[in-house]
Amino acid sequence: MNTSTTSQPWIIEVKNLTVSFGEKQVLNNINFKVQQGETLGIVGESGSGKSITSLAIMGLLSPLAKIHAGSEILFHQNGSTINLLELDTNEIRKIRGNDIAMIFQEPMTSLNPSLRCGEQVEESILLHQKLSKTEAKAKVISLFEKVKLPNPERVYKAYPHELSGGQKQRVMIAMAIACEPKLLIADEPTTALDVTVQKATLDLLKELQQEENMSMIFISHDLGVIANVCEEVLVMFRGDVVEQGNVTDIFNNPKENYTKGLIACRP
Ligand code: ADP
Ligand code: MG
């Protein structure tokens, strides 16, 4: 693993990230940085490369994806810099879920239907932390309280199908923050939820981000949602970053026609 010692205000720097599947290039030379404690939004219509970008950071791209030479994903932590794209499977696995965590759009596909919710979060904690089973269970209960799940003891024993979509997403958030990650990637975390539950989930994520002083990459196809959660935004279209900057500036004064369109077609 290549590390160098530098003190950076950035937690993550994506440089020249280019990814293709066969002949099709799905990310074209993407560049952005996320500052310590900041929430960066990524917005763009379906297929623009938002998920591929987050999967690349997590080391979860399909083996069919080709990451082009010259691409870098630099993770700065405790004065050292690691290029995540140079790590082997074991090294990236240690970082994933521990230093960098992710929540996905559809909590049902991320939770194992045949395991109780509490046990799933507990397993994930025991993978990364040296705790006894009793200590891990106590931690799960306190995490469930933190993400404001009603009746944490009941949720601990519940199977995923016994919970609502919003409750399942809270279980996923609890799992994601269990190891106090430096960076949380939330990929369309509210898209699959009822409108009434969406706002509560966004409020929770915002609150946790501030409380834990985490950095966050928040992905959505809705610039309105991004404007509520993020300070900085990256607008993506067909694998390109078409515009980037302060979210209020871009919302009020978009420079690119594509961004104007995104704002105009909001419900
Ligand atoms: P978004 O999250 O912005 O909706 P994605 O990052 O999922 O978009 O996808 C970007 C592009 O990459 C799309 O054109 C999609 O079809 C393509 N793509 C994603 N995953 C694969 C894959 N496993 N094989 C081939 N193409 C893929
Ligand atoms: Mg996506």
Quick: pLDDT tens for 76-86: 988 899 999 99
Tokens linked to 143:
């995490």
State which ligand 1 atom lies nearest to the alpha carbon of 48.
Answer: 3
On whether the CB atoms of residues 78 and 5 are closer than 8 A, the answer is no
- The first and second tokens of residue 177, run together, are 């923050």
State the pLDDT confidence band at 128, using cuts at 50, 70 and 90.
confident
Q: Write down the pLDDT at residue 117.
A: 96
Range name among 56-65, 90-99, 159-168 with the lowest pLDDT average: 90-99
pTM (predicted TM-score): 0.93
Q: Kindly report, residue by residue over 159-204, the tens digit of the pLDDT.
A: 999 999 999 999 999 999 998 999 999 999 998 888 888 999 999 9
pLDDT of 5 strictly over 70: no
Q: Which ligand is nearest to the CA of 238?
A: 1
Distance 106 CA to ligand 1 centre (A): 16
Assess contact for 80 and 34: CB atoms under 8 A: no
Helices 117-128, 133-146: axis angle to 10 degrees equals 120
SS3 85: helix
Q: What is the pLDDT of residue 62?
A: 94
Cα 21 to averaged position of ligand 1 atoms, centre (Å): 9
Res. 64 pLDDT band, cuts 50 70 90: very high
Output the ligand 1 site: residues, CB below 6 A: 21, 26, 44, 46-52, 62, 64
Task: Name the residue at shortest CA distance from atom 14 of ligand 1.
Answer: 47
3-state secondary structure of 230: coil
Question: Could you give the 3-state DSSP secondary structure of residue 24?
Answer: strand
